[in-house]
């Protein structure tokens, strides 16, 4: 009999909800916010007994109370024991999504050196060694952040949206901004990948996050796309902490 587990990943922009049956994800949705009724519906539908919550948002006491009614509930914090080791000077400041993505990468490809790119609200680039040691990485502004910054920090540049097709050379202010932001970010990430590969030749590159599809098709380097990488890591963290999992 399958034992369904609930994963809640509340990020800066979206809340991701997933249900795992022990072998695979049988439910995966994302939305700007959730209500307690949404969670209760999922719990009842799948007969959820265990759950994990990772959140960068202000704690929702009602949601915490609801999840504490389950047989096992884990609230992810920087002090939560992990299946990987952390080599980071300030682990208490380390983003929970970065920890989860690294854990997910290690579970998918153990004993491999992995560069993890999470293209979400921010872009993070992190290194995980073949020994399962998280070595830190880089935090970059996302595509949307760059569009907003050009508008907010200048007097005359408009707020531009993403183009369907990325212009190589802009012919007006709008397309020049689109070219600079889109091509600049792609080249920026490609540069990180190439720099890491010079030092670690046997490096596997994994990418996840909301902007995954943009970089999956535009980067020249060989990369592997894992849309549910963070959720995969959260399941592994839940199992690591629940001896009855």
Q: Which residues are catalytic?
A: 97
Q: Is 57 exposed, middle or buried (0-12, 13-18, 19+ CB in 10 A)?
A: exposed
Q: How many angstroms separate the CA atoms of 245 and 163, rounded?
A: 45
């Amino acid at each position: 009999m399958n034992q369904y587990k609930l994963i809640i990943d509340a990020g800066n922009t979206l809340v991701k909800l997933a249900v795992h049956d022990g072998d695979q994800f049988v439910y995966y949705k994302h939305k700007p916010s959730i209500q307690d009724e949404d969670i209760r519906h999922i719990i009842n539908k799948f007969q959820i007994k265990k759950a994990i919550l990772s959140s960068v948002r202000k704690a929702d006491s009602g949601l915490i109370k609801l999840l504490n009614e389950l047989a096992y509930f884990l609230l992810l914090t920087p002090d939560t024991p992990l299946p990987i080791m952390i080599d980071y000077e300030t682990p208490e400041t380390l983003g929970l999504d970065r920890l989860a993505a690294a854990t997910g990468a290690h579970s998918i490809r153990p004993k491999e050196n992995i560069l993890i790119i999470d293209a979400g609200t921010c872009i993070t680039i992190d290194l995980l060694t073949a020994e399962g040691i998280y070595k830190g990485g880089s935090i970059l502004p996302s595509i949307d952040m760059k569009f907003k910054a050009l508008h907010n920090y200048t007097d005359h540049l408009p707020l531009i949206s993403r183009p369907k097709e990325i212009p190589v050379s802009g012919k007006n202010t709008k397309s020049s901004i689109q070219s600079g932001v889109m091509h600049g970010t792609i080249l920026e990430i490609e540069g990180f990948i190439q720099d890491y590969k010079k030092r670690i030749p046997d490096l596997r590159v994994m990418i996840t996050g909301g902007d995954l599809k943009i970089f999956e098709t535009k980067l020249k380097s060989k990369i592997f796309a894992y849309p549910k990488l963070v959720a995969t890591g959260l399941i592994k963290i839940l199992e690591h902490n629940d001896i009855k999992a």
